[in-house]
Each structure stands twice: as structure tokens, then as C-alpha cells.
A = this chain, B = another copy of it.
Amino acid sequence: MATGIRPWPWALVGLVFCAACLRSAKGGKLLVIPFDGSHWLSMRQVVQELNLKGHESVVLAPELSGHIREGWYYALRTFPVTFSKDRFHELIGSHFQWSFDQKPLLKRFFDIAVLFKMVSDMYFSFCVDLVHNKELMKSLEEAHYDAVLTDPANICGPFLALYLSIPAVYFLRGLPCGLDTESTQCPDPSSYVPKWTTENTDHMTFLQRVKNFLYPLPHNMVCQGFLKPYESLALELLQRDTSVADILSHGSVWLVRTDFVMDYSKPIMPNMVFVGGINCASAKQLSQEFEAYVNASGEHGVVVFSLGSMVSEIPMTKAMEIAEALGTIPQTVLWRYTGKPPSNLAKNTKLVKWLPQNDLLAHPKTRAFITHAGSHGTYEGLCNGVPMVLMPLFGDQMDNAKRMESRGAGVILNVLEMTSDDLSKALKTVINDKSYKENIMRLSALHKDRPISPLDLAVFWVEFVMRNKGAPHLRAAAHDLNWIQYHSLDVIAFLLAIVLTVVLIAVKCLKFCFQKCFGKKEKAKKATKSKSH
């Protein structure tokens, strides 16, 4: 048997004649409604692949945008918005600086809630500007798109697809507040499916299960505040009282950016397609600049360090602590950092404004990856088999980090509390303790061992929805039941009522018979007794 690590054969598969290629003889028209930031960076790969297959894509975005720009493989259509430009940049720019502030847990929770509410309100404001733009809406209606490809983190995408009656494909990592499980009607037992941001694994102690059970409650309450405006908009435009989960439930196919090497096995639904690792399918040759860094690193190789596209500056005290730790290892460290260089930066540490993360991680001389454990970065570490030092900052990053640590492929550090020594130790551990490399290589091989590449799979399902005008056969009938019916509570009540009635009648009958049989004797006895007295 061939075991161990095999070359990734997807590139070859992509080149040859495949089922999907045969089917897309004529190009379709796709409306793409993204969510800004790193979400868009992986979604656009699907758009590019669809372009190569002859489909036309129109990317619809507000004029205020961070990462969504013109591209050769789609037409960008922006729309004017009323949201203040300065406020937009303020929100996006200072987005995650608070991650480095030491705060009590409750204060942190409320700060996140406030930040999320502001971002959510901004997206809602964009959505209102879009749907009230009569000229644009008319042209969208007249364009007769075959499908909408959207990230449901931007609720306006699913909303617009429903409003325009175009079948939708969702592209996502997951949604907060259990919105994804509710909208897919996917069972989600809290006893072994860790809830979002709990940092639980699938094997929990009793108290972790209590936490997992209770955790969604405050989140769901907070979410109601974010979702309410969309429900009012639905009432105005769709003329019906509906929830956001119901709006989302009309998605034909959910392309979920995860797999069961990183995430834990759990119930899924037939319209959920798993494309985790879609962002690291093809590593390119390094540029001269980075090739030079790597070649100069000698036998010790390099360490790649990035806290993601949203965080490029950190407080100077923390930066100096980190710089000190990086100086203690023999590897060359390539650190994506745009702030003021720490004064104690060691010779082995190179600061760069941007780095080709996936290409660097794919290089055989890369020894470790210091990451904030965003889903994209973690998958790039996983695909390329690089042990990680994980510094989760917020959202699902804690969960991603926990998944890697629980599988022996990385070490988690609390970025707020760690010392220089902690980081130095963690780096030396993942680089020198061979078990980390062995574990990540094993996971990497498992992750890549699939019948079809995640990118081809995503493209297939978008084309499927375009060809078949949706996928109604994959929609569970559970969507047509209310909560009582779904859990068979009415059936149980009905059966209990029957059982109770039967028991009651039986008791009455027995009582009646008893009285008939023994009542007379009793009376007779009494009568005899009274006579004898």
C-alpha cells in the first residue's frame, strides 16, 4: 500500500477532461455579492475559476470597499452609499486594535458586541442603499442571472437573491448565533458539537458541556439586535413577516470553508458542501525578494509570522517583547508588520509590509508559522504541513487554534498575557519537537486526500445551481415544519392524551366493576351489621 505523503494531484485533475467541463458548454451569468476583507480573497478564486469555464460574473459592491477592487475575471459594479467615508475607514482601520487591550471578560464581550453592531449597521445601511436604488435594481432584474454567489455574512446577498428570485449559493466559514444551523435545519447537539467561540473540542467535560449548552444564549440575544433591521426590510420589500434564518434558508447550496480534519465530525445536511482549504490549492514560485530571504536562511530555514490582513500594527511594548523572542531562535523570521520597527529587532528578523503567505508556507525550508489562527491562515498552515504558534485574537480564531493544538500540531499563546520567554519556548517547541511536524504532516496528508479538489467542488456546485435553477431536491422538508412539529411534540402530546384517556377509562371501569362487585357485599355487610346491632 502507498502510505505517507503523496504529491497533491489536484493540479493534474484540473488540467484533464472532467465531468464539470463537459457540462458547461455554454457560459452562465452569475451575480456575486461578497463580504469585504479576507472572506472575499478566497471567494474570488471561485469567481476566477468560473471565468475560465466561460461564465460571466458581475461583482456587486458598495463604493466604499477595503479589498473589493476591479478584476480581469469579473465586472465590478459599485453602487453609491450614504455611509460616511471617514467613518468607514475609521471602522475598518481601527477594527482590531482593541484586540491588544487588557480588559475584563464581560467588558470585552460588550466591546465586541458594540463593534459587531457598528459593522452590522454599516452593512445594513449599504443594503438599504442598494435595494432602494431603483435604477440598479431594475437592471439587476433585467439581467436574468442564473445564480447568485454570496457570502451570507453579508445578509444583503441572500436577501437580494430571495427578492430577485434567483437561486443562491453561499460561500462561508460559518455564521454566528447558530444562524447557519438554523437556516440549514442541521441538527447540532450541544453535547459534542462545540459552539462557536467556546474553545471546546468535541470531547467535553461535564462543565464544558454546561458551558456549550449555555453559551449560545447571550450571543443569540445580542444577535437579535443585529438581525431586526433586516426583518423590517423584508416586511417592507417582500411583504411578509420573516426571520433572517428563513431568508437564509433559501440558499440552494452552502459551500462551507471547512473540513473534518480541522473541524470535528458532526451531523451535516445534503446541501452543505465542504471546501476547507480552498484558499491554498496552488502555491506559486516565490518572488526574487523572498527567494533571497529563504536561500539566505541556511540550514535553519525560516519562520513566517503574520497576524492577518486586518492587523498589521501592534502596541510597541508587545512588539518589543515579540522581537526579543524572535531573536532567540536560529531561524530567519519573516514578519508582516507595517508599524514602527521595535528598537530591539534582532538580525534574523525581517519586517515586510506584505508577504506571499501560502507560497512561503509551501517552501520546504519553512519551519514554523506564527499566526492569529484566522481560518485562511490555519488552513494554509495545515495544507502545507507547517507547525504553528497560534495567537488567536477574536471570533473563531480561538476555535481554530484549539483544533490545531488538540491535534498536536501547534501551541497556543495568549497574546495579551504571554511573555517574551513564552513565545521563544513555544517556537523552539514546535520547531525542535518532531511530534509537531509529524502531526501536521499527517493531518496535511489526510486533508488533501479527497476525491476532488475543494476549488473544483465549489465550481461544480455553482454550475450545478446555474444549470438546474437551484437544488430543491436537497432542501430538507424540515423547513416546512414549525418547532413543535419538528420535535414531534404534537404527536407525543396526542399519544400521551390517548394513553391517559385509556388509563382513565380503565380506572373508571375498574372502579365501577369494583363497586358493582364489592359495593353490594359492603352494603349487605353494613345492612347485616346494622340489623345485628
Where the two chains meet, the residues of A that have a C-beta atom closer than 8 Å to any C-beta of B are 1-3, 6-7, 9-10, 12-13, 16-20, 22-28, 146, 186-187, 189-192, 202-203, 206, 209-210, 213-214, 260-261, 264-271, 446, 449-453, 456-457, 460-461, 464, 466-468, 473-478, 480-481, 485-488, 490-492, 494-495
Contacts and interface: CB of A to CB of B under 8 A. Distances in A.
A449 B474 contact: no
Contact of A192 (B19, B466, B476): B476
A449 B473 contact: no
B265 A452 contact: no
A24 B10 contact: no
B491 A209 contact: yes
B265 A474 contact: yes
Contacts of A488: 189-191, 209, 213
Contacts of A451: 19-20, 452, 456-457, 460-461
A17 B19 contact: no
A22 B9 contact: yes
* Most B CB within 10 A of own CB, among A190, A446, A466: A446
A483 to B, nearest CB: 10
A446 to B, nearest CB: 6
* Most B CB within 10 A of own CB, among A23, A24, A25, A28: A23
For the complex formed by this chain, how many copies does it contain in all?
2
Nearest to A18: B13
Given A6-B23, A192-B478, A260 B265 contact: no
Contacts of A474: 260, 265
* Most B CB within 10 A of own CB, among A2, A20, A210, A460: A2
B3 A12 contact: no
A459 to B, nearest CB: 9
Contacts of A210: 491, 494-495
Nearest to A475: B265
A107 to B, nearest CB: 25
Given A12-B17, A206-B494, 12 more contacts: A3-B467, A10-B19, A16-B17, A19-B452, A186-B267, A190-B488, A192-B481, A202-B476, A209-B485, A210-B494, A264-B477, A267-B268
A19 B9 contact: yes
Nearest to A15: B17
B266 A213 contact: no
Contacts of A6: 22-23
B1 A478 contact: no
A138 to B, nearest CB: 22
A28 B3 CA distance: 10
Given A192-B478, A203-B477, A474-B265, A450 B23 contact: no
A480 B192 CA distance: 9
A202 B477 contact: yes
Contacts of A19: 9-10, 12-13, 450-453
6 contacts: A3-B467, A9-B23, A16-B18, A190-B488, A265-B269, A268-B269
Contacts of A495: 210, 213-214
A2 B446 CA distance: 35
